[in-house]
């Protein structure tokens, strides 16, 4: 696989609505599997780290000012929904980001270009590249334009959109213990996977996997939540995360 051509970079920049430094854009699209197979090229992970923080600040700032009457807990749930792996992967698909990501042969063969984890991480890296190229104001404009639908959905749904929070609330309603999470990573650095479990009253009720600990824990919480609701549906919990986010 070769570095994406100018046409692909230009097309992606057009969909972003802003010109991004070409070298930064290529770096943002370089998944660790490709970098590893190419002999140790720089990966998009540092840009992902930066973009994740920029995304968090932009979304938090917008929620804080748009919903002055909501308590911190509700704002946190709405933010979690907007920046979740599932929500960001949808944004990346709408942006047609997957075909632009540089992947190793193994990831390509297993459909890596459409994996939620890779799409989410790559989008955050692109946000980081936009920020470094133009600064916070332009980055804010791009981010809000792309994640706006998720923000609107979170604000209008009236439900808790964070599985970990929803699980904790469901356990409290039913007099169960506090969920306890455990996570560990496995695999080489270029293809690391985290597995998380969540135990309630000493019994593991859910397991999840993901490219990051937080994503694995959310999946574990979602499965544990479904298990608890199935056993005790009488106390209906309208705070279950919406499937559309």
Q: Is 70 strand, coil or helix?
A: coil
Cβ atoms 191, 138 nearer than 8 A:
no
72 is an annotated ligand-binding site residue:
no
E strands within the chain?
Answer: 180-186, 193-200, 203-210
* Active-site residue, from 52, 217, 222, 237: 52
61 is an annotated ligand-binding site residue:
no
Q: Which of 244, 222, 240 is nearest to 90 (CA)?
A: 244
Cβ atoms 87, 147 nearer than 8 A:
yes
124 is catalytic: yes
Q: Which of 134, 130, 228 is nearest to 176 (CA)?
A: 228
Query: Tokens 């009253």 correspond to what residue?
Result: 201
Cβ atoms 82, 155 nearer than 8 A:
no
Query: Tokens 């390509």 correspond to what residue?
Result: 108
* Active-site residue, from 74, 124, 217, 237: 124
48 is an annotated ligand-binding site residue:
yes
* C-alpha separations of 208 from 97, 122, 196, 223, 236 in Å: 25, 21, 5, 8, 24
52 is catalytic: yes
CA–CA separation, 219 and 167 (whole Å): 11
Binding-site members for Mg(2+) are: 48, 121, 124
Binding-site members are: 48, 121, 124
Which residues are catalytically annotated?
A: 52, 124
């Amino acid at each position: 696989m070769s570095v994406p051509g100018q046409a692909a970079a230009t097309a992606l920049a057009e969909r972003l609505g802003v010109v991004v430094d070409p070298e930064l854009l290529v770096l943002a699209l370089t998944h660790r599997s490709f970098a590893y197979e190419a002999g140790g090229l720089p990966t998009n992970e540092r840009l992902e780290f930066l973009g994740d923080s920029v995304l968090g600040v932009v979304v938090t700032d917008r929620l804080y000012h748009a919903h002055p009457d909501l308590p911190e807990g509700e704002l946190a749930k709405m933010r979690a929904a907007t920046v979740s792996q599932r929500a960001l992967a949808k944004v990346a698909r709408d942006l047609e980001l997957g075909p632009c990501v540089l992947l190793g042969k193994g990831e390509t063969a297993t459909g890596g270009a459409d994996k939620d984890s890779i799409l989410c991480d790559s989008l955050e890296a692109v946000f980081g590249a936009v920020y470094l190229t133009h600064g916070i104001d332009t980055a804010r404009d791009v981010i809000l334009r792309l994640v706006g639908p998720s923000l609107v959905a979170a604000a209008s749904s009236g439900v808790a959109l964070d599985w970990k929070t929803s699980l904790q609330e469901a356990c409290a309603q039913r007099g169960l213990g506090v969920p306890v999470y455990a996570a560990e990573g496995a695999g080489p650095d270029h293809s690391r996977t985290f597995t998380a479990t969540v135990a309630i009253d000493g019994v593991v009720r859910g397991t999840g996997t993901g490219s990051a600990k937080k994503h694995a824990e959310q999946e574990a919480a979602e499965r544990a939540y479904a298990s608890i609701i199935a056993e005790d549906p009488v106390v209906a919990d309208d705070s279950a995360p919406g499937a559309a986010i």
